[in-house]
Amino acid sequence: MESNIQDITFDKKLFGADFAWGVSTAAFQVEGSCDIDGKGQSIWDVFTAKNGKILNGHNANTTCDFYNQYKKDIDLIKELNIPNFRFSISWARILPKGTGEVNQKGINHYNRVINYCIEKGIEPWITIYHWDLPYDLELKGGWTNREVISWFTAYVKICAQSFGDRIKYWMVMNEPGVFTGAGYFLGIHAPGKTGLKNFLSAIHHTTLSMVAGAKVLRELLPDAQIGTTFSCSYIEPYTDKPKDVVAAKRIDALLNRLFIEPVLGLGYPIKDVPVLKTIEKYFKAGDEANLKFDFDFIGIQNYTREIVKYSFFTPYVSAALVKAQDRAVPLTDMKWEVYPGSIYQMIKKFNYPQIKKLYITENGAAFPDYVTDGEVNDTRRVEYLQAYLKEVLKAKNEGYKVSGYFVWTLTDNFEWAEGYNPRFGLIYVDFDTQERIIKASGRWYANFLKQEILSVPVWEGLH
C-alpha cells in the first residue's frame, strides 16, 4: 500500500459513469434522541442499559446526535461530493410498540431527512431494518416468533406508503447473519439471546420476513429498486490439511452463504453445515417458495478475511477462527485484519448468475484518530480505502458485477458492543461538543469524487 496519500494510481473515471458512490449510516448508531418525539424503546436501548454489555458502559442515547444535526451532516455529505446517502429507519420511531399506532413525529423526522437530501441533490437510499427491533416485539420473542413476519411486513408497508414517492433504492435488511448470529446465538449483541434454538428459528423467520417485506415493496412500489444487504468475509483454511479445509468450508457456508442461497432458491447450505438441518423444524407448508425473491440488487459488506481451523471443542461446527491478533498481520481498531484482497474475493463469490446487480454497501475501517492542530490526519484509513477500492476495480475490470461502493461511515458513531472506541467516520466527532472535523480520508474521498465524468460523448454537444 502507498504511504503517500496523494499518490492515487487510479481515479473515479475508471469505475465508469454509472458507478454509484456513497456513504452508509444506521439509525441506532447515529440518531440519539432515544426517547424523543414519541420513539419507543428498541432492543438496543434496553441492551445498552444493561451492565457489562457494552465496552466502557457506553450507550447511544445521544451518540452523534444525527436526529438534530441531520442538516449539518447532510451538508457535509454535500461538501464531500458524495452523491448517495444510505441510512436506516428506526422501526420504534415509526411504530413505538412495533405494531399498531403509528407515530407521525417519527415519520416527519424521516421526511425531513429525505427532503433535505433531495434539496441538496443527494440520492437517499433506505435500509428498513438495521438491527433495532422494537423492544415490545422482543418481549413476544422477537425474531424467534414466527409472527414477526406479519409485524415486519406491516412496518414495511408503512415505510413504502410514507416514503415511496421519493425513495428509489430500498434495502430490506442489513446483515441478517450478524444480527441473528451475534444477537440470538452468541448473545453479544441485542437482544442477548443464546443457543441453537433461538438462532435457527431467528434465521428462518428473518429470511421469510426479508422476502415478505421485499414482496410488499415490489407490490406497492413497482418502479423501485429493491435490495437487501449481507455481511461477508473471505475465508481461508489455516493449513491445507483436509480437516482445516472442511472447517473453512463450513464457516464460509455459515458466514457467506446462509442467507443469500435460500433467497436465490438454493436453500440453506445444509450439506456443508449439517447442524442447519434442524432448521427444518421451523418450516411450514409453502415456506420453501417463500424464501425466494428476485431482488433487483444485493448489497455486500466486507471488511476483512478470516482464517479457520478445525477445532474439536467448538460445538456444532468443529471450527474456530484463528484470531488476526495471533497472525502478525496489520490490524484495525476492531482487531480485524487489513486484507484488501478480501473484497475482490467477495465480489467473485457473489457472482451468482441470479444476482442482477451487486453493490458494496459498506466498507471502511476503524483506526485510532487524533486531532492535531484542528486536523485529523488518518493516513491509514486513506490507505485502507484506496487499497480496497483498487481490488473493487480489479474485479470490475475482470468483468465481475459491481455497480457501486459505499463507505462505512459518515461520522464517528456508536459501534454496537464496542461503544465509541472504534472510530469509523470520514468525519471526526467530538462527542462532548458534537463538533465535526472532516478527516484527511473525508478530504481524499471528496477529491476522488470531484472528478467530472462525461457520460454524454463530447461530440453530441457539437450539434
Residues marked active site are found at: 175, 362
Q: How far is the CB of 110 from ligand NOJ (least distance, A)?
A: 18
Q: How far is the CB of 25 from ligand NOJ (least distance, A)?
A: 8
Burial of residue 297 (number of CB atoms within 10 Å: 0-12, 13-18, 19+): buried
User: What's the CA dihedral at 48, 178, 405, 450 to 10 degrees?
Assistant: 10
Nearer to ligand NOJ, 144 or 174 (CB): 174
- Taking residues 332 to 361 in sequence order and writing x for each that binds ligand NOJ by CB under 6 A, - otherwise, the string is ------------------------------
Does position 362 interact with ligand NOJ (CB under 6 A)? The reply is yes
Q: How far is the CB of 190 from ligand NOJ (least distance, A)?
A: 12
Nearer to ligand NOJ, 207 or 363 (CB): 363
What spatial distance separates the first Cα and last Cα of the chain, rounded to whole Å?
A: 46
> Would you tell me how many other CB atoms lie within 10 Å of the CB of residue 65?
18
> Would you tell me how many other CB atoms lie within 10 Å of the CB of residue 435?
11
Burial of residue 146 (number of CB atoms within 10 Å: 0-12, 13-18, 19+): middle
Nearer to ligand NOJ, 25 or 69 (CB): 25
Residues 6 or more apart in contact with residue 378 via CB below 8 angstroms: 367, 369, 439, 440, 441
Stretch 118-177 residues interacting with ligand NOJ (CB under 6 A) = 174-175
> Would you tell me how many other CB atoms lie within 10 Å of the CB of residue 40?
22
Provide the strand spans (E) within 311-398: 319-322, 358-362, 371-372, 375-376
Q: What are phi and psi of 266, to 5 degrees?
A: -100, -5
Q: What is the DSSP code string of 49-101?
A: HSTTSSGGG---SSTT-HHHHHHHHHHHHHHTT--EEEEE--HHHHSTTSSSS
Are 26 and 88 a contacting pair, CB within 8 Å? Answer: yes
Nearer to ligand NOJ, 26 or 360 (CB): 26
b/e map 219-236, b = 16+ CB within 10 Å:
eebeebbbbbbbbbbbbb
The H or E element spanning position 343 is helix 341-349
SS3 category, 322:
strand
Nearer to ligand NOJ, 138 or 362 (CB): 362
- Taking residues 182 to 221 in sequence order and writing x for each that binds ligand NOJ by CB under 6 A, - otherwise, the string is ----------------------------------------
β-pairing, 427-430 with 404-408? unpaired
Does position 412 interact with ligand NOJ (CB under 6 A)? The reply is no
Of 230, 408, 420, 445, the one binding ligand NOJ by CB under 6 A = 408
> Would you tell me how many other CB atoms lie within 10 Å of the CB of residue 296?
17
Nearer to ligand NOJ, 306 or 415 (CB): 415
Which candidate, 408, 361, 365, places its Cα nearest to that of 229? 361
Nearer to ligand NOJ, 162 or 345 (CB): 345
Which candidate, 199, 205, 232, places its Cα nearest to that of 355? 232
Does position 391 interact with ligand NOJ (CB under 6 A)? The reply is no
Q: How far is the CB of 242 from ligand NOJ (least distance, A)?
A: 33
Of 41, 201, 301, 363, the one binding ligand NOJ by CB under 6 A = 301
C-alpha torsion sign, points 275, 199, 172, 71: negative
Q: How far is the CB of 233 from ligand NOJ (least distance, A)?
A: 11
Q: What is the largest CA-CA distance in the chain?
A: 73
Q: How far is the CB of 175 from ligand NOJ (least distance, A)?
A: 5
CA angle 269, 205, 311 (to 5 degrees): 40
Q: How far is the CB of 301 from ligand NOJ (least distance, A)?
A: 5
Does position 89 interact with ligand NOJ (CB under 6 A)? The reply is no
Does position 26 interact with ligand NOJ (CB under 6 A)? The reply is yes
Which candidate, 75, 74, 80, 65, places its Cα nearest to that of 32? 65
Stretch 419-438 residues interacting with ligand NOJ (CB under 6 A) = 424
Q: How far is the CB of 361 from ligand NOJ (least distance, A)?
A: 8
Of 232, 415, 428, 436, the one binding ligand NOJ by CB under 6 A = 415
Nearer to ligand NOJ, 130 or 396 (CB): 130
Nearer to ligand NOJ, 98 or 177 (CB): 177
Q: With CB under 6 A as the rule, give the number of residues binding ligand NOJ.
A: 9
Q: How far is the CB of 300 from ligand NOJ (least distance, A)?
A: 11
Q: Which residues bind ligand NOJ (CB under 6 A)?
A: 26, 29, 174-175, 301, 362, 408, 415, 424
